[in-house]
Amino acid sequence: MLVGVPKEIKDNEFRVGMTPAAVAELVHHGHEVIVEAEAGLGSGSPDEEYVRAGAKTVKTAADIFARAEMVVKVKEPLPEERKLLRRGQILFTYLHLAPDLEQTRDLMASGATCIAYETVTDRHGGLPLLTPMSEVAGRLAPQVGAHALEKAQGGRGVLLGGVPGVAAANVLVLGGGVSGTHAATIAVGMGASVTVVDRSHEALRRLSAEFGSALRTVYSTRASIVDLVKSADLVIGAVLLPGAAAPKLITRAMLKTMRPGAVIVDVAIDQGGCCETSKPTTHSHPTYVVDGIVHYCVANMPGAVARTSTFALNHATLPFALALADKGWREALREDPHLRAGLNIHDGKVTCEPVAAAHGLPYTPPESVL
């Protein structure tokens, strides 16, 4: 199979779909790989490393989309990339379609076979291709939140860990999954006073056992969130409904009860965000203020630490990319129900039920297109 790796074009997105090591594995399996010139520079992999791994470099993304049988990316294709997709072509990347009707329609119109990292599952019910970036985003959230809390950034002027004689910041983490757990780990390590809310008793027990008295756990209800946001200096939204839009846990009305200069870091923004006032931002312009509350809603947070993120992501995606290339997408998805869960769109049909439900579109079970 001819596999193509274009350069990412989202604002300040420095990750790349495949590392030179991943390319070498595909070449070893008998496949051809073409990489857009300078696609790996942002993550520390110059063109020479790709050439040594057996890839060929091409000048433009148009060359990639015109020739490749499978396109491997990191972020969802932007409108100018979606125009280049072809019927029968495989697109393997993050898509996050539930909050994005325009992208959904464009991918349907392209006729391409679109497999989303974020809905691929494993035998434990986890999301193995989302987990690495959830870990990175979770660990980044207290870091960017601490910066946004600085007075010069519009925040309250509160140091996350406080100092002797001055209280630490109150950090509220919404969701005790992968991102939430990693956010709590860093926030506790920075000396903050941390509370995690979740509806899963199993998650709350796990967090309590892991952190002990260093962290407070609260069962998530509307009433508990309404109460907790009032005293929060930093709220980290880390809720996830696989494949579906994130629930709106913080309303506009709640903002008026928060401390002026408090910060919301909405890690769930890829799936629409868990705050009613959240809207996607970029690394170039990461924050905005609503009712005195600073919102950080960068939709590609892990791109800030591109090298770490790229290698972590490739470690997870490589086995699936190899399966798709070695067997073809139909056989690979027939054999692996977990990879099959990643099929979101094929030949104009929506094959991911939460995406279809989010947009009121007909749902086609993936098994019916294999």
Q: Which residues are catalytic?
A: 96, 270
- What is d(CA 246, CA 50) in angstroms, rounded to the nearest whole number? 38
Strands 293-296 and 287-290: antiparallel
Q: Is the Cβ–Cβ distance between 11 and 282 less than 8 Å?
A: yes
Sheet holding 56-58, edge to edge: 56-58, 32-36, 2-5, 70-72, 90-93, 113-116, 343-346, 349-350
Alpha-carbon distance of 63 to 44, in angstroms, equals: 23
Q: Give SS3 for 293.
A: strand
Residue with tokens 């520390």: 44
Helix (H/G/I), strand (E/B), else coil: 77: coil
Residue 229 neighbours by CB under 8 Å, 6+ apart: 172, 235, 250, 254, 257, 258
- Residue 290, SS3 per DSSP: strand
